[in-house]
Amino acid sequence: MEDFDKLYEEDTFKEVMGMSKEQYKKKVEEMLAKSEGDKGIGHGKSYWKDVQTFLLFADARFRRNKGSTYKKAFLEKAKFIAYVDFRMSDFANYADILLPAKSHYEVWDLRTNPGYHRFANLAHPPTNLKPVGEAKSEWEICTMIVEKIQEIAMKKYKETGDKKYIKIPDPELSKTGYRDLDTLVDEYTINGQLRDDRDAVEIALENTDQFKPNTIESMFKRGGYLTLNEKAGKSSPLYPDKPYNAFENNLFLYERFETLSGRITYYVDDDLWIQEGANVPTAKEPIRPRKFPFVLMTPHARWSIHSTYKTSTLLLRLQRGKPYVMINPEIAKKKGIKDGDEIRVYNTLGEFYAMAKIYPSCPKDAILLEHGWEPFFYKGRKGHNEVVASPLNLLELSDGWGHLKFGGNWDGNQHAYETSVDIEKV
């Protein structure tokens, strides 16, 4: 909210959102209070309210959740951070303990996406692969952590005889209301069957109906993949001789879509959405401040998958080797910026430095910066998130956190083209 206040202009915001910044903030607080805990109107929860210890897997947190104020707040709250990754992300520097993981191609894994096709691929470590340092698969890391927890708990229990060390109350997530630490390892590993990545693949193949009948050996024989059987098609039947077509069930076989109406829904019948004029898909002017002339556009990076592989020397040599900002030639000329110059990108929130690339396909009212650069690529460790405030889109709060609870993976949407900046030659 601090960042929000600093960045946005009252009149622009009011014009676009139809409410003052004060009203917006009040609304957010109201909605959050409503959805508090399980008693709320939705079943949302305030985000990690009481959590102070973090075990995070491959989550470059400050790159995803933007703004330096968020970073400060997180670090103040976090008492202890253990971080697991196969690469040195920027976030790894803030961890108390860093656990090196094996990368995608060093572990056993099944890759599948039944939404797009009907195959599952087997990832497996190459023959004679030498382990890199102490890296372990995530499965092994978790098993080891679980073993240690049980060991410590049992030791305390034996010393004191106090059951509180092995029976930890967990009313929300455990069926029994307790976590039993004396049997934790057995429970976690299914009595020793599931200790590492290879076990996980074997168990998945044995127990997942859609994978049957398959084993690691049968997948190997076919060159490392399996064909999902007829039980796998979620939105289309799986034919032996036809490719997968999503939504055949709904569009041709007349099954209901998983929406309230059973059809593809463009109308959202919700007070907040109606109030915001968004009950049907509606384009709105962006809320970014008008006093800075350029929209900051951050398209998907070409030479990385978000920030993964961003530090690859091989791929960095196929670009400019460090963060670069694409600028319209006419704008560059006006600003006295030449290709390859270092420029400062700034607004009221902050600034960052990058190389200028003169780019005819860039509009005159925007600058382009591929996303995924970690803060450690930038001068002073000030990444491009320094100039964004990322307020949550109010619509995401309707009916409590979780956007009307339409299924699976809710993710807090923000505003498109939310920030604007100015540039100057350094």
Member of 329, 344, 410, 417 binding other proteins (CB under 8 A): 329
**Cβ contact 101:136 at 8 Å:** yes
**Cβ contact 95:79 at 8 Å:** no
Member of 321, 413, 416, 425 binding other proteins (CB under 8 A): 321
Q: Are strands 294-297 and 420-425 parallel, antiparallel or unpaired?
A: antiparallel
Residues near 227 by beta carbon (within 8 Å), at least 6 away in sequence: 118, 119
**Cβ contact 347:292 at 8 Å:** yes
> Interacting stretch for other proteins, rule CB under 8 A, among 112-120, 129-137, 180-188, 351-359?
351-359
Member of 166, 362, 397, 423 binding other proteins (CB under 8 A): 362
> Interacting stretch for other proteins, rule CB under 8 A, among 103-111, 182-190, 258-266, 362-370?
362-370
Residue 297 is a binding residue for other proteins (CB under 8 A): no
In the complex with other proteins, the residue whose CB is nearer, 169 or 321, is 321
Candidates 363, 364, 345, 365; CA nearest to 421 is 345
**CA–CA separation, 157 and 116 (whole Å):** 51
The structure tokens listed for 317 are 């040599």
> Interacting stretch for other proteins, rule CB under 8 A, among 16-24, 48-56, 103-111, 353-361?
353-361
Residue 357 is a binding residue for other proteins (CB under 8 A): yes
State which of positions 72-91 bind other proteins (CB under 8 A): 88
Residues near 321 by beta carbon (within 8 Å), at least 6 away in sequence: none
Member of 355, 371, 410, 412 binding other proteins (CB under 8 A): 355
**CA–CA separation, 283 and 204 (whole Å):** 44
Q: Are strands 324-327 and 351-358 parallel, antiparallel or unpaired?
A: parallel
**CA–CA separation, 348 and 292 (whole Å):** 9
The structure tokens listed for 177 are 């209301």
Residue 311 is a binding residue for other proteins (CB under 8 A): yes
**Cβ contact 44:400 at 8 Å:** yes
Coil vs helix vs strand at 324 = strand
In the complex with other proteins, the residue whose CB is nearer, 93 or 245, is 93
- Whether the CA torsion 65, 71, 75, 77 is positive or negative: it is negative
Strand partners, 345: 352, 423
Residue 240 is a binding residue for other proteins (CB under 8 A): no
Contact flags string 376-415 toward other proteins, x per CB under 8 A:
xxxx-x----------------------------------
In the complex with other proteins, the residue whose CB is nearer, 127 or 313, is 313
Q: How far is the CB of 356 from other proteins (least distance, A)?
A: 12
> Interacting stretch for other proteins, rule CB under 8 A, among 25-33, 148-156, 273-281, 323-331?
323-331
Member of 197, 374, 399, 418 binding other proteins (CB under 8 A): 374
Compute how many residues bind other proteins; rule: CB under 8 A: 33
Residue 322 is a binding residue for other proteins (CB under 8 A): yes
Which positions lie near other proteins, rule CB under 8 A? Answer: 88, 92-93, 311, 313-322, 328-330, 340, 355, 357-364, 374, 376-379, 381
